[in-house]
Structure 1
């Protein structure tokens, strides 16, 4: 058992599904889009799980489902042992103090008509935490934790840079002392140098406050920097999951191999992986069998006929492939 395969994980997701009604097609017939299809994983206490995949694979939907910002079509999400689908509105509202989210676009996530102080204290007001004096003290503490000054509380979001606005979003997410935070592309909209500062801040806060992260990103470099374990998504499904060292050093699924090859490298001319080819299939009409078989360089007839389970491989991680490790270095 690895350090994060715990008998009592903080977050436990089982057979999670989310289906959206598609637009009317020919003859007005609507086709449902299954954005998330039978996903299961755990997040251990104090762990950072990275969720990576191409745009449109469903990773952001997963983040919203685990926080119950979207109602699942099937499956269950347990947080700290409690099934979120069975909680009444009052208990779920109270539970939200322990589960927060940091969005990709900090400017879009902040009300431009509210000052920074009002934005950060808003969760405290909504949940009735402390009096005015206690909230002001908490505000000063939060600003300091994210590297901002007390006088910044009187300013408005448009007066800050992108990195500073993301620090404000982080402070707001921390206001209620959560134990779990979904970081939804939390650094992807920032310049590279600022991105590194935000990632290091999130790492420092994790160790200082004992936080647990589900970190969603399409950037493999970011995922490798911040994650303890990595789950790779393709067309609504997790196709591989393992420690970051397993995923980056001994990838077992051809899609993971292709993602790694597609990532920018400092060592130009030195290629270890076969590049990904073709376009992402229509999620409203996914391929039969293995969903990646239409783009896979090692696909065999069985790949089109049978969907492979997410099973443990000889390398120790889990991969949904009939021929795991074939393209591994």
Structure 2
């Protein structure tokens, strides 16, 4: 693969283990929050990362930015091994790598005005003169649909949607190339959520951005993503083209997620819950992690972990011994 074809971000065999407990007489327990995860994101693409709460998707987003350190694996951004960078080098790299958090109010310092919040990254990285930063502040506010007079106000004076626009402006302050959107619209009302998603898509096209978009909402993932990665208990269970995964899902867990999405029936909203309870991350089941909840599980599923393999007749991959056998 030559440089022209290389993905902007490549992640190989990423792992993150957390040690829990271990005080006094209690033995420490290990949680594999992320277990052997590999994927790539091309320039200008949006990869949607979806799964139930606790599946490890937020941890993946923070690992690729080195907000937390991986236990194992490789993270390569535009040909640079991020794990090999020293703190000063990684700090400089953060101009290209930004994140938008789920809770905009929690992400914004309540003691700082909007103008101070947006200019702060430029100050930290020594970008521009005060006049140039102020001019850039006006550009950023306009870009996200806010006005210059908003710069003097404080986060608590804004609605949830406006606060998320402020967070987006702050993330754009350093002209990044790659942004992790961690449940960036899930805390908002549906109508406001649509506005934020459309804004992110417009900014992606206008500024040539690349996204890792994390969400538990399949409707949002379908709307904004080019490709999709489905996670369960720290592992990737399905990965590939959005259309293939939504129209021809091959893994029983992906099918269960799609079936559990709200559907209207005779004027009422109905849900089809996924059978069984989510296993404890402290003691995941052997073999396929989904076998205890899977309607087509067989003996091999209880002992042998299935590899992520191409699906017959499709353009995506699934980690299932009987991929494609179950249909929507």
TM over 0.5: yes
Q: Which residue is equivalent to 1:318?
A: 317
1:72-129 CA deviation, whole Å, 9 max, x = no partner? 0000111111111101122111100000000000000000000000000000000000
Q: Which residue is equivalent to 1:30?
A: 28
- Assess, with a 3 A threshold, how the Cα gap between structure 1 residues 82 and 291 changes in structure 2: closer, same or farther: same
1:16-75 CA deviation, whole Å, 9 max, x = no partner? 000001124995111110100000000110000000000000000000000000000000
1:217-240 CA deviation, whole Å, 9 max, x = no partner? 000000000000000000000000
Q: Which residue is equivalent to 2:196?
A: 198
Written as runs of structure 1 = structure 2, the 5 A alignment for 1:1-329 is 7-24=5-22, 28-266=26-264, 275-314=273-312, 315-329=314-328
Separation of aligned partners in 1, 2:317 and 2:249: 10
- Assess, with a 3 A threshold, how the Cα gap between structure 1 residues 54 and 302 changes in structure 2: closer, same or farther: same
Give 3-state SS (helix, strand or coil) of 2:128's partner. coil
- Assess, with a 3 A threshold, how the Cα gap between structure 1 residues 126 and 287 changes in structure 2: closer, same or farther: same
- For these two proteins, the number of residue pairs brought into alignment is 324
Give the gaps of 5 or more residues in structure 2: none
> What is the TM-score with the length of structure 2 in the denominator?
0.96
> What is the TM-score with the length of structure 1 in the denominator?
0.95
Instruction: Check whether the contact 2:261–2:272 (CA below 8 A) recurs between aligned residues.
Output: no
Give 3-state SS (helix, strand or coil) of 1:49's partner. strand
Instruction: Check whether the contact 2:33–2:59 (CA below 8 A) recurs between aligned residues.
Output: yes
- Assess, with a 3 A threshold, how the Cα gap between structure 1 residues 268 and 103 changes in structure 2: closer, same or farther: farther
Indicate the RMSD between aligned Cα atoms, in angstroms. 1.9
Give 3-state SS (helix, strand or coil) of 1:258's partner. helix
User: Cα offset for 1:276?
Assistant: 1.7
Separation of aligned partners in 2, 1:275 and 1:220: 14
Instruction: Check whether the contact 1:257–1:274 (CA below 8 A) recurs between aligned residues.
Output: no
Instruction: Check whether the contact 2:241–2:315 (CA below 8 A) recurs between aligned residues.
Output: no
Instruction: Check whether the contact 1:25–1:31 (CA below 8 A) recurs between aligned residues.
Output: no
Separation of aligned partners in 1, 2:266 and 2:322: 29
- Assess, with a 3 A threshold, how the Cα gap between structure 1 residues 261 and 308 changes in structure 2: closer, same or farther: same
- Assess, with a 3 A threshold, how the Cα gap between structure 1 residues 249 and 88 changes in structure 2: closer, same or farther: same
Separation of aligned partners in 2, 1:269 and 1:40: 42
Instruction: Check whether the contact 2:13–2:37 (CA below 8 A) recurs between aligned residues.
Output: yes
Instruction: Check whether the contact 1:102–1:169 (CA below 8 A) recurs between aligned residues.
Output: yes
